[in-house]
Chains A and B, each alone.
Chain A
Amino acid sequence: MKTRRGIPVSPGIAIGEVFLLEGEGVRIPEHFIAPEQVEREVARLTKAMDEALAELDSLTATVAEKAGAAIAEIFSAHAGMLRDQYLRQEIADRIRNKLYTAEFAVSRTMRHWRTMFQADSVLTARVPDLDDLERRLLRRLLGARRQELDSLQGEVILVARDLSPSQTASVDTAKVKAIAIDGGGPTGHTAIIASALGIPAVVGLGSLTGDVSGGDTVIVDGVRGVVIVDPDEDTLEGYQRRRTEVQRAEVTLLERYRDRPAISPDGRRVQVLANIEFPKEVGRATQYGAEGIGLYRTEFLFLASNRSPSEEEHFSAYMEAIGQLEGRPIVIRTVDLGADKFAGVHDVAVERNPFLGRRSIRYCLDHPEILRDQLRAILRASAHGKVRVMFPLVSSLEEVFALRKTLGELREEFDKKGEGYDRGMPVGIMVEVPSAAVCASMLAPHVDFLSIGTNDLIQYTIAIDRANEHVAHMYQPLHPAVLRLIKMTADSAHDCGVEVGLCGEMASEIVYAILLFGLGMDHLSVAPPVIVPELKRIISSVRHEDAVEVANRVLACTEVEKAAKLLMRANQEMLPDLFV
């Protein structure tokens, strides 16, 4: 049994077998075996080499046809190396004498040869052959335990060094019961997606991939941020019990609050919405009682296909979502990506500070065709459901004007064509840049709603990259500056008669529920949807005027720690069964 701690990014408990995903060319983590595993490991090596050999033999024939015998003989030489008993012995010796895993032994052996080849001006040209051979063997070794992510056989716990956006997007929630990754931070796409899909996830686990093999039993505790490899009987039993309890409590809560709006005892209503990545998540969101979609992130339309989606692709995704919403509202946010993430775009200069660069709405304003395709689809969709459009990363009124102008032009275009759209479609902006929060009173009169994106707002306000482990602890939602900006935004919105909500992660953490209620949020948009009934319950049981008082006291705190203590005490007093 081995326990690793990471950052919990999506709650829940899952117990299952490891599915170890390894990217190509990945360095093998230092991974040792127990002495009694030596023969099994050598057998794995032999099997991998034999399989790679068979693969090479068939490749040789194919290559001979396509590229000629001279090239083919290179592969047959690779096969020759795999038949090389000296090489086999050398790798096996490393397993036997140093208790390396087969992967690590292969990696180390090839490194030895690579170093030697690199020292010789002629041989250095042969290094790619070694690399190729190494990759081939590693693929085999890792591949024996690897199915493709999109064709999983049974239920698994996905363990990886990191997940690319497209890998994350292709996760099949019917099969993947939890995600645990070595890298990543709380704001990474793995966190966002896992949370959206409602599966437990823990990130930042260091070298978990080095601790597990495919098929190992692991427990992923997405509440405490713990992953337990090869749990003993007692631990396993304890977790199974907890999992059942959690599930039972969830069901009760769900039954009581699913179809009820969240109205406080003193009559103040907060709309509880859900954040989604994919249209297919809508069903889940409404099942948990979400009153609509408060944030539909459209990035995955861009990331999934390696090119900018067409108007039709946008439209059909929006229609898919609208079709399941049964009249509930949906806020579609225009694409929010870094400049480097837009595919097929060639004018991307390397940005020294991508977070301060030409990203998100800035990029879209510079590339009107991308923006217009998306806005046309949104306008078209607005004829079929309660669609709202939201622009991310807005930092000035000029941007609001430019976006309004583009929308106006498109409306004229629609009018000319006689194409239908919702003339009253609400237009909103994200408040996630400090300048937008500070100038909220100037922006609010020109929009229909404001939605606070706390993840970025906190990072930009405190100048903290949350993915940077050295400063991640300074990421503080309760930082007085952050709280003041949220308050300022809410007050400005209300002064202008504009709705204000919060769709950042902070909305999904129930410890902040009373505070946000007290700060005046009209809606909270959360992920995963399992939070929805819980939030509804909190709001239904806390008087708004009490929440305002708590918020004011927290706002008065000059230090984060004091604010946290005060808030926790208030939580315990007002919601004693939730906060023990």
Chain B
Amino acid sequence: MRKSGAERAEVVIRNRMGFHVRPVQRFATMARMFQADVEVQLRGRAVPGKSVINLVSLGGRCGDKMRIAAEGDDARQCVGVLAYLAENSFFVEDDVDAENRPGRHLERLARMASCFESDIRITVDGQTADAKNLDSLRRLGFGPDEVAQFDVTGQDAEQARALMENLAASCFYVEELMAARARKAARQ
């Protein structure tokens, strides 16, 4: 892991509604898991990438190019995670049929885990898999609503764990499951 790094990525906003409240909320939540300073530039305006209100104020539309820049020890991991999120319509599935395929949670998990240097193991019902290995995850075959336990070791373990747990807590942003879980929580 580099001591102090700078990293940037350029992505195109794909979801029809643009970089609106929900995408921004997800983006900022994940950005805050990192120590790095994050900046998002869009149509010539740059704002702090951890600030919901600033990000919303960018008013990013579908098709807009968005530049994500991070500076700090975990800048690479940070930009990796945020760029993947942005490229995948911020996991907003309202209008992206292609996203609505089974097992997408495993893909999200594997791709996000791969952004980190730490070793990330996931345990479900006593079975363990390498979170960075999609085949290994598929063999584990757990659903997005099952309880998973993460064992994370390495230099960026803290950030990696925060992100993994956020994914699990949010049902990997699989919309219908998020809804079901929220309903359950409200009943309790």
Question: How long is the Cα–Cα vector from A157 to B61 in the complex, in angstroms?
Answer: 53
Q: Which of A51-68 contact B (CB under 8 A)?
A: 60-62, 64-66, 68
A91-114, CB < 8 A from B: 113
Could you tell me which residues of chain A, from 67 to 120, have a CB within 8 Å of some CB in chain B? 68-70, 72-74, 76-77, 80-81, 83-87, 113, 116-117, 120
Q: How large is the interface on A (under 10, 10 to 19, 20 to 34, 35 or more residues)?
A: 20 to 34
Known contacts A69-B179, A76-B25: A87-B186 contact under CB 8 Å: no
Q: Is the CB of B50 within 8 A of A61?
A: no
Given A80-B52, A84-B28, is A122 in contact with B61 using a C-beta cutoff of 8 Å? Answer: yes
A343 on interface, CB distance cutoff 8 Å: no
Q: Is the CB of B51 within 8 A of A87?
A: yes
Query: A126 contacts the other chain (Cβ, under 8 Å)?
Result: yes
Asked if A123 and B183 make an inter-chain contact with CB atoms under 8 angstroms apart, the answer reads: no
Provide the B24-37 mask, 1 if CB < 8 A to any CB of A, else 0: 11001100100000
Contact check, B52 vs A73: say whether CB atoms are below 8 A apart.
Answer: no
* Distance of A189 Cα from B67 Cα, bound (Å): 60
Q: Which residues of A contact B53 (CB under 8 A)?
A: 81, 84, 86-87, 113
Q: Which residues of B contact A129 (CB under 8 A)?
A: 21
Residues in chain B near residue A68, CB distance under 8 A: 179
Asked if B21 contacts A86 (CB within 8 A), the reply is no
A residues near B178, Cβ cutoff 8 Å: 64, 69, 73
**In the complex, what's the smallest C-beta–C-beta distance from B103 to chain A, in angstroms?**
20
Neighbour of B186 across the interface among A65, A77, A80, A126, CB < 8 A: A65
A146 to chain B, nearest CB (A): 27
A87 and B22 form a contact (CB under 8 A): no
B59 → chain A closest CB, angstroms: 5
The answer to whether A70 and B25 have CB atoms under 8 Å apart is no
Is B25 a contact partner of A69 (Cβ separation < 8 A)? no
Q: How far is the CA of A87 from the CA of B54 in the complex (A)?
A: 8
Cα distance A10–B32 in the bound complex, in angstroms = 57
- A60 to B21 CA separation, bound complex (whole angstroms): 14
A525-552: CB near B (< 8 Å → 1, else 0) gives: 0000000000000000000000000000
Q: Are A61 and B61 within 8 A (Cβ)?
A: no
Q: Is A84's CB under 8 angstroms from B179's CB?
A: no
Chain A 377-420, CB-CB to B under 8 Å as 1, else 0, gives 00000000000000000000000000000000000000000000
Tell me the complex Cα distance, A126–B52, Å.
12
Q: A86-B51, A87-B52 are in contact. Are A126 and B182 (CB under 8 A)?
A: no
Residues of B within 8 A of A117 (CB): 56-57
The answer to the question of B151 belonging to the interface, with a C-beta cut-off of 8 Å to chain A, is no
Residue of B nearest to A74 (CB): B21
The docked-state distance in angstroms from the alpha carbon of A240 to that of B182 is 58
Chain B residues whose CB sits within 8 angstroms of the CB of A70 once the complex forms: 22, 94, 175, 179
User: In the complex, how many angstroms separate the beta carbon of A150 from the nearest chain B beta carbon?
Assistant: 29
Chain A's closest residue to B17 (CB) is A122
**Assembled-state Cα–Cα distance A64/B51 (Å):** 24
Given A70-B175, A80-B28, A80-B29, are A61 and B52 neighbors across the interface (CB < 8 Å)? no
> How many whole Å from B164's CB to the nearest CB in chain A?
19
**Cα distance A485–B22 when bound, in Å?**
69
Other-chain residue from B25, B48, B179 in contact with A80 (beta carbon distance below 8 A): B25
B143 contacts partner chain A, Cβ-Cβ < 8 Å: no
Query: What is the chain B residue whose CB lies nearest that of A64?
Result: B182
B101 at the interface (CB under 8 A from A): no
Residues of B within 8 A of A85 (CB): 50-51
Tell me which of A62, A80, A87 has the highest count of chain B C-beta atoms within 10 A of its own C-beta.
A80
A69 x B52 contact (CB < 8 A): no
B185 adjacent to A64 (CB under 8 Å): yes
B94 closest partner in A (C-beta): A70
A84 with B186: in contact, given A73-B21, A77-B22, A123-B57 (CB under 8 Å)?
no
**In the assembled complex, which residues on chain A have CB atoms less than 8 Å from the CB atom of B61?**
122
Given contacts A61-B185, A117-B57, contact A126 B21 (CB under 8 A): yes
Provide the residues of chain A in CB contact with B57, threshold 8 Å: 113, 116-117, 123
When distances are taken between beta carbons in the complex, the residues of chain B under 8 Å from A72 are 182
Rounded to whole angstroms, the CA-CA distance of A113 and B20 in the bound complex is: 15
Residues of B within 8 A of A122 (CB): 18, 20, 59, 61
> Does B187 touch A at the CB level, under 8 Å?
yes
By beta carbon, the residue of chain A nearest B28 is: A80
Report the separation of the CA atoms of residues A484 and B175 in the bound assembly, to the nearest whole angstrom. 79
Q: A117-B57, A122-B18, A123-B56 are in contact. Are A69 and B51 (CB under 8 A)?
A: no
Q: Is the CB of B56 within 8 A of A126?
A: yes
Q: Which residues of B contact A86 (CB under 8 A)?
A: 48, 50-51, 53-54
Q: Which residues of B contact A69 (CB under 8 A)?
A: 175, 178-179, 182
B59-70: contact bitstring with A at CB < 8 Å (1 yes, 0 no)?
A: 101000000000
Complex CA distance for A86 and B175, rounded to whole angstroms: 29
Within 8 Å by CB of B182, from A61, A80, A120, A123, lies A61
| Min CB–CB distance A120 → chain B (angstroms) | 5
What are the residues of chain A within 8 A of B179 when measuring CB–CB?
A: 64, 68-70
Distance, CA A395 to CA B34, complexed state (A)? 77
Residues of B within 8 A of A113 (CB): 53, 57
Q: A66 CA to B28 CA in the complex, in Å? A: 26
Q: Report the bound CA distance from A401 to B28 in whole Å.
A: 74
User: Whole-angstrom distance from the CB of B40 to the nearest CB of chain A?
Assistant: 12
Whether the Cβ atoms of B59 and A77 lie closer than 8 Å is no
Give chain A nearest CB distance to B176 CB in angstroms: 8
- CB nearest neighbor in B for A60: B182
A60 to chain B: which residues have CB within 8 Å? 182
The answer to whether B187 touches A65 (Cβ under 8 A) is yes
Contact B22 A74 (CB under 8 A): yes
Residues A65 and B182 in contact, CB atoms below 8 Å apart: yes
**A64 interface neighbour in B18, B28, B183, Cβ under 8 Å:** B183
Kindly state the separation between the CA atoms of A400 and B29 in the bound complex, as whole angstroms.
Answer: 73
23 A-B residue pairs with Cβ-Cβ distance under 8 Å, sorted by A, are: A60-B182, A64-B179, A64-B182, A64-B183, A64-B185, A64-B186, A65-B186, A66-B186, A70-B22, A73-B22, A74-B21, A76-B25, A77-B25, A80-B52, A81-B52, A83-B52, A84-B53, A85-B50, A113-B53, A116-B57, A122-B61, A123-B56, A126-B20
Question: Told that A64-B186, A80-B25, A120-B59 touch, could you supply 4 new A-B pairs with CB distance under 8 A?
Answer: A64-B182, A77-B52, A117-B56, A122-B59
A residues adjacent to B (C-beta < 8 A): 60-62, 64-66, 68-70, 72-74, 76-77, 80-81, 83-87, 113, 116-117, 120, 122-123, 126, 129
Q: Which residues of B contact A (CB under 8 A)?
A: 18, 20-22, 24-25, 28-29, 32, 48, 50-54, 56-57, 59, 61, 94, 175, 178-179, 182-183, 185-187
Top 10 closest pairs, chain A to chain B, by CB: A64-B182, A65-B186, A86-B51, A69-B179, A77-B25, A80-B52, A77-B21, A69-B178, A61-B186, A80-B25
